[in-house]
Amino acid sequence: MSLLRLCLVMLGLLVLAVVFAITLGETSLSISQYAQALIHPASPPGEVLWTIRAPRVAMAALVGAALGLAGATMQGLLRNPLADPGVLGVSAASGLGAALCIAGGLAAVPGAVEVGALLGALVAGGAVVAIAIRLREPEALILFGVAISAFGGALTALVFNLAPSPVAIAEILAWLMGSVENRDWTDSLRALPPMAIGAALCLKAGQGLRMLTLGEEAARMSGLRMSRLRAYAVAGAALLTGAAVAGAGVIGFVGLAAPHMVRALVRDDPRRILWPSALAGALLLVLADLAARMVPTDQELKLGVVTALFGAPAFALLAWRAARSWRA
Amino acid sequence: MTAAWSIVGARARQGGRLVLDAAGLTVQPGEVVGVVGPNGAGKTSLLRAGLGLLPLVEGEAFLSGRRLQDLGAAERAALVGYLPQDRRLAWNLPAEIVASLGAIDLPEPQALAVARDRLARVGAAGLAQRGVLDMSGGERARVLLARLLATRAPLLVADEPIAGLDPDAQMLTLDLLRAEAVAGAAVVVTLHDLTLAARCCDRIAVIDHGRIVAEGAPAVALSSRVLASVFQLDGELVETAVGPVLAARRV
């Protein structure tokens, strides 16, 4: 399948999922109410669709796309199918950065949480790459990811420990679990610029990621400027992850699962996988958020909880397969 | 004539150990030069240092007469193609995509055309669509050789290109590199098989403890004295109807 066709199919599926997600919800509407919502967006059914559900779905799609693209980029750069912002601790560090901002009472300052999340993502992303340069074996990197995750988690626990008030703790906790509840259009608009820059950087790294298939030395001798590629890919993935974490909290495993869904369709190509991974990530998260809303529980399920419930077993399965191929 | 590659007085360290000690090598267009030596003698280090992959403590390297440090990444890539010893590939890409990475300077359709041509040349035309991780080691080696040939560079450097290949594939590989030299390229290979080295190379450089200890036509470079002092072999090159053969036993 050509890349364009694959992307169009994925886009079609995404549009379908978005329509579903906007149509379905706790408040069930009749056909005439849907018609009313479409014709008069300011009517009460219109309010439900366009100011409650649609922005939430948009945020889920944006965050999913960002995480999918970030995951695909990190997998390409590190030549490791298990790389993902969550597994490598980039999300945890980003969450820490944001938690610090909230605990510091900066939650109301526009852009503060975003900057905190972004800085956390950049520091962890830089650390991961600094370590990856010195490692020969791909599985070793995952161990460092575990360490970075654990350290990020420990520091976040410290933030809880020293938090000024229970209100701040509850606020951070709710946010760390990951959710796109009650998002409005300005939240999406705020997430867009860093995501767009991050996406541009990742796509620019595409050809370099493909050359890296040969190994670093052969790629360098073919004219690849390794330090530039690293800077693009890490900055791109960190911007995407940071913006996603700032927008929706810590949502794990999307960056891992999205590239995996489309990998066979692009014949493992680390450049061609980028766009389809973004679309697959958006699709996954829109569906996961729909599930979070529709599962009848007293407390609405948090999106991050849903993705972790499905993502962790998927990660185990991928790790099992990868470990077998490394042994071979 | 400008040498395609020259390494002068190269001294380099790796992990604190001196791996190159005033080593030098000059390669002219149209010749095949073999670099031989025992394990750990510095064959790979010499190639890597001469390509800028291993920093030189002392000495200099030139590609087509231009100082290595003065060349940008793209300029350097246009002057040399490199086939590393490590044949691991990260992803299961189709063979033709892997081979096309050699012709990265061309737009994708042309690069793929070059890739298919080189795959045919190495006898792997039928593998073009196959994933490189689904192949045997020998098949993958052919694809990587096609990638090297696709660079169309005036200097081709291959580190142990025949290690682990069956005899037919070994000779095919060296014949293909020879054909590139006939077409005007300079070719440098590291080899462990001294018989094949003597048969396929115009010139041989023997490296030991990071120094070039003998250099010249195969019969000169691989003299009985060198075989004994460098390789701990008691023997000599014997001329036969199909070319020289190493007849030797351990000292």
Q: What is the pLDDT of residues A38-76, one digit of tens each?
A: 888 888 888 888 888 999 999 999 999 999 999 999 999
Average pLDDT, chain B: 95
Chain A nearest-CA distance from B202, in A, is 25
Task: Report chain B residues whose CB lies below 8 A from the CB of A267.
Answer: 92-94, 97, 131
Instruction: Record the tokens describing residue B139, joined without a space.
Output: 């098949």
B62-75, pLDDT tens digit by residue? 999 999 999 999 99
Q: Is residue B207 part of a domain?
A: yes
- The mean pLDDT value for A271-276 works out to 97
Residue A324 pLDDT exceeds 90: no
Which of A71, A82, A73, A65 has its CA nearest to residue A209?
A73
Cα distance between residue B59 and residue B61, in whole Å: 7
Q: Is residue B34 part of a domain?
A: yes
- The mean pLDDT value for A187-200 works out to 93
Which of A43, A21, A18, A24 has its CA nearest to residue A33?
A43
- For every residue of B131-198, DSSP letters joined together read BGGGS-HHHHHHHHHHHHHHT--SEEEEESTTTT--HHHHHHHHHHHHHHHHTT-EEEEEES-HHHHH
Instruction: Record the tokens describing residue B134, joined without a space.
Output: 């689904």
Percent of chain A with pLDDT over 70: 97
Q: Is residue B170 part of a domain?
A: no
Chain B nearest-CA distance from A79, in A, is 6
Is there a single domain that holds both residue B76 and residue B189?
yes
Cα distance between residue B251 and residue A119, in whole Å: 64
Q: Is residue B137 part of a domain?
A: yes
Length in residues, chain A = 328
- The mean pLDDT value for A291-299 works out to 85
Which residue segment(s) compose the domain that B10 sits in?
Answer: 1-80+154-164+176-251
Tell which wins on pLDDT, A311 or B127: B127
Over A167-181, what HEC string results?
HHHHHHHHHHCCCCC
Q: Is residue B169 part of a domain?
A: no
Q: Do A223 and B105 touch (CB under 8 A)?
A: yes
- What pLDDT is recorded for position B212? 96
Residue B160 pLDDT exceeds 60: yes
Please tell us whether the domain made up of A3-20+66-327 is placed in CATH 1.10.3470.10: yes
Residue A214 pLDDT exceeds 60: yes
Identity (one letter) of the amino acid at A314? A
A4 φ/ψ angles, rounded to the nearest 5 degrees: -60, -45
- What pLDDT is recorded for position A136? 64
- List of residues 6+ apart from B61 with CB closer than 8 A: B5, B6, B7, B8, B10, B49, B50, B51, B52, B67, B68
Chain A nearest-CA distance from B246, in A, is 33
- What pLDDT is recorded for position A93? 92
- What pLDDT is recorded for position A65? 98
CA distances from A234 to A167, A212, A255 (A): 35, 15, 14
Range with the lowest mean pLDDT among A34-48, B96-110, B217-231? A34-48
- The mean pLDDT value for A2-29 works out to 91
Range with the lowest mean pLDDT among A54-58, B13-17, B95-99, B176-180? B13-17
Interface test with B, best of A268, A271, A277 (most B CBs within 10 A): A268
- The mean pLDDT value for A156-168 works out to 85
DSSP B53: S
- What pLDDT is recorded for position A325? 67
CA distances from B23 to A56, A128, A326, B207, B211 (A): 66, 37, 37, 8, 5
Over chain A, what HEC string results?
CCHHHHHHHHHHHHHHHHHHHHHCCCCCCCHHHHHHHHHCCCCHHHHHHHHHHHHHHHHHHHHHHHHHHHHHHHHHHHCCCCCCCCCCCHHHHHHHHHHHHHHCCCCCCCCHHHHHHHHHHHHHHHHHHHHHHCCCCHHHHHHHHHHHHHHHHHHHHHHHHHCCCHHHHHHHHHHHCCCCCCCCHHHHHHHHHHHHHHHHHHHHCHHHHHHHHHCHHHHHHCCCCHHHHHHHHHHHHHHHHHHHHHHHCCCCCHHHHHHHHHCHHHCCCCCCCHHHHHHHHHHHHHHHHHHHHHCCCCCCCCHHHHHHHHHHHHHHHHHHHHHHHHHC
Task: Report chain B residues whose CB lies below 8 A from the CB of A213.
Answer: 89-91, 93, 98, 101
Residue B148 pLDDT exceeds 60: yes
Query: Which of A207, A215, A223 is closest, CB to CB, to B77?
Result: A223
Query: Which of B86, B97, B104 is closest, CB to CB, to A269?
Result: B97
Is there a single domain that holds both residue B193 and residue B147?
no
Instruction: Record the tokens describing residue B212, joined without a space.
Output: 């070039």
Is there a single domain that holds both residue B95 and residue B216?
no
Cα distance between residue A110 and residue A246, in whole Å: 11
- The mean pLDDT value for B156-174 works out to 94
Query: Which of A207, A213, A269 is closest, CB to CB, to B89?
Result: A213
Residue A137 pLDDT exceeds 70: no
Q: How would residue A138 be classed by pLDDT, with cut points 50, 70 and 90?
A: low
Is there a single domain that holds both residue B221 and residue B182?
yes
Tell which wins on pLDDT, B95 or A226: B95
- What pLDDT is recorded for position A328? 47
Residues of chain A with a CB closer than 8 angstroms to some CB in chain B:
79, 207, 210-215, 217-218, 220-225, 267-270, 325
Q: Is residue B201 part of a domain?
A: yes
Is there a single domain that holds both residue B24 and residue B129?
no
b/e string for A257-288 if b means 16 or more Cβ within 10 A? bbbbbbbebbbbbbbbbbbbbbbbbbbbbbbb
Return the number of other C-beta atoms located less than 10 Å from residue A172's C-beta.
Answer: 23
Q: For residues A20 and A43, is the Cβ–Cβ distance under 8 A?
A: no
Query: Which of B51, B73, B133 is closest, CB to CB, to A223?
Result: B73
**Total structural domains within chain B:** 2
User: What residue of B is the nearest CA neighbor of A227?
Assistant: B73
A80-133, pLDDT tens digit by residue? 888 888 888 899 999 999 889 888 888 778 778 888 988 999 899 888 888 877
Q: For residues A306 and A291, is the Cβ–Cβ distance under 8 A?
A: yes
Percent of chain A with pLDDT over 90: 43
Residue A24 pLDDT exceeds 80: yes
Q: Do A220 and B48 touch (CB under 8 A)?
A: no
Is there a single domain that holds both residue B53 and residue B158?
yes
Residue B217 pLDDT exceeds 80: yes
Residue A154 pLDDT exceeds 50: yes
Instruction: Record the tokens describing residue A277, joined without a space.
Output: 């991974």
> Could you identify the residue written with the tokens 């396929």?
B200
Average pLDDT, chain A: 88
Using DSSP, state whether B23 is helix, strand or coil.
Answer: strand
Cα distance between residue B242 and residue B72, in whole Å: 44
Tell which wins on pLDDT, A299 or B89: B89
Is there a single domain that holds both residue B191 and residue B219?
yes
b/e string for B175-198 if b means 16 or more Cβ within 10 A? ebbeebbeeebbbbbbbebbbbbb
- What pLDDT is recorded for position A135? 73
Residue B101 pLDDT exceeds 90: yes
CATH number at residue B239: 3.40.50.300
- What pLDDT is recorded for position B245? 92
Residue A327 pLDDT exceeds 60: no
Residue A1 pLDDT exceeds 80: no
Return the number of other C-beta atoms located less than 10 Å from residue A231's C-beta.
Answer: 15
A309-320, pLDDT tens digit by residue? 888 888 888 888
Q: Do B88 and A215 touch (CB under 8 A)?
A: yes
In chain B, what is the straight-line distance between the N-terminal and C-terminal CA atoms, in Å? 42
A225-234, pLDDT tens digit by residue? 988 898 899 8
- What pLDDT is recorded for position A182? 82
Interface test with A, best of B93, B100, B112, B127 (most A CBs within 10 A): B93
Cα distance between residue A261 and residue A88, in whole Å: 20
